[in-house]
Amino acid sequence: MQDKKWAEEIWKKIDTKLEKVAMRSAHKLPYTTDASNVHIDMQQKNITWWTNGFWPALMWMMYGATKKDAYLSSAQSTQKILRTAFEKYDGLHHDVGFMWHISSGVQYRITGDKSARLEALYAANLLAGRYNADGEYIRAWNDNNDGVDNSGWAIIDCMMNLPLLYWASEETQDTRFASIAIKHANKTLANHVRPDASVRHIVEYNPKTGEFMKEYGGQGYAEGSSWSRGQAWALYGFVLSYIYTKDKKYLDTAQKIANYFISSVCGDWLPRCDFRAPQTPIIYDSTAGAIAACGLLELAGCLEENSGLQFKNAAVQMLRVMEHAFCDWNIATDAILQMGTERYHGESGRHIPIIYGDFFFVEAIAKLSGNWTRNW
Ligand code: GLY
């Protein structure tokens, strides 16, 4: 079947299922699901959990694309719950970009709601406040009170938080936000991206000088390995930095990471959790594939048609295979994309649905089927 027609069919399945889930989960901030594939709510357990914006964001995207009441009502009620996370300042982290850029940020962009604009700007200020001006990086996490000094830690995932800063500069006509984003992107390019275009998950800098100290394997297999979701964050993140700045080095970097990602998955197009882990056990991470597919589609759109086609085709191939192997279309259950993995090590959090897997899978299909343009 032709790609567009296929995407339109999958889009219909998404809408049929999510319209039901929107009502069932209208008062939850879902992360994963229970054994019956029913959303588990994070609002009591951890209101500042980094993924808490994905469900309202998914609802805003579906509302923007369909204008259906079920999505609007779920988006509004869950956005209201998410807002209470601002009260926990010391629990917040660099992922305020994930939390608010695509939730209240999209709400503002599609409805013009002024309070949503303020929420997104408030989040941008929190993110800008994490910038280490001596080291020229955005600090990832807060002190965990575990004896580890993580003040010099920056992680590849932060590339996806930068659009909040670029947007804030455009919105306020104040260059400070974008200049922080650019400094961080340049630092990441120089220190996270290896010569073969694989990327490090965690890099530790000297917080007083910005000197590279060491890398950590983070959620991947080990130091020197290649955590696939990190590769996907980098791929999509550098494309987005290019879109906002038009700096060609970000586009070139995204292209190299994309080629590396494609060569790492093109056996069966089902992403493993780490591209440099031992062959067995096979640990999949569908979320890496969904994020990378979005990055590949956006990358293709930045290039001349014949250079971009290979990236678009790779995205479609991966989505088709994942749809066949990993999607649950039962309207009585909550999550669509199964087989996400939080991290390489540890039996828990392996081969489970994770909310951002659904978010990025839907984003990719929404774009391919022509129902949506961009969240970021
Ligand atoms: N940002 C954390 C993760 O990708 O799991």
pLDDT in tens, 185-197: 999 999 999 999 9
For residue 51 and ligand 1, the question of a CB distance below 6 A is answered with no
Q: Please state, for a pLDDT cut of 70, what percent of the chain lies above it.
A: 100
Average pLDDT, the chain: 98
Type of residue at 143: D
The whole-number average pLDDT for the span 345-358 is 96
Q: Is the pLDDT of residue 334 over 90?
A: yes
**DSSP 8-state secondary structure symbol assigned to residue 89:** G
Ligand 1 center to 162 CA (angstroms): 15
Quick one: which atom of ligand 1 is closest to the CA of 219? 5
In 3D space, the residue among 88, 153, 156, 101 whose CA is nearest the CA of residue 127 turns out to be: 101
Answer for the pair 67, 20: CB distance below 8 angstroms, yes or no: no
Residue 220's pLDDT is 98
The whole-number average pLDDT for the span 106-127 is 98
Residue 1's pLDDT is 80
Please count the CA atoms within 13 angstroms of the CA of 67 that sit on its side-chain side. Answer: 1
Judged by phi (left if over 0) then psi (alpha if -120 to 50, else beta), residue 129 lies in alpha
Residue 347's pLDDT is 86
For residue 94 and ligand 1, the question of a CB distance below 6 A is answered with no
Q: Is the pLDDT of residue 40 over 90?
A: yes
Report residue 208's pLDDT band, with 50, 70 and 90 as the boundaries.
very high
Quick one: which atom of ligand 1 is closest to the CA of 95? 1
The whole-number average pLDDT for the span 151-156 is 98
Minimum CA distance residue for ligand 1 atom 1:
157
Distances (CA, A) of 107 to 39, 112, 295, 343: 23, 7, 22, 31
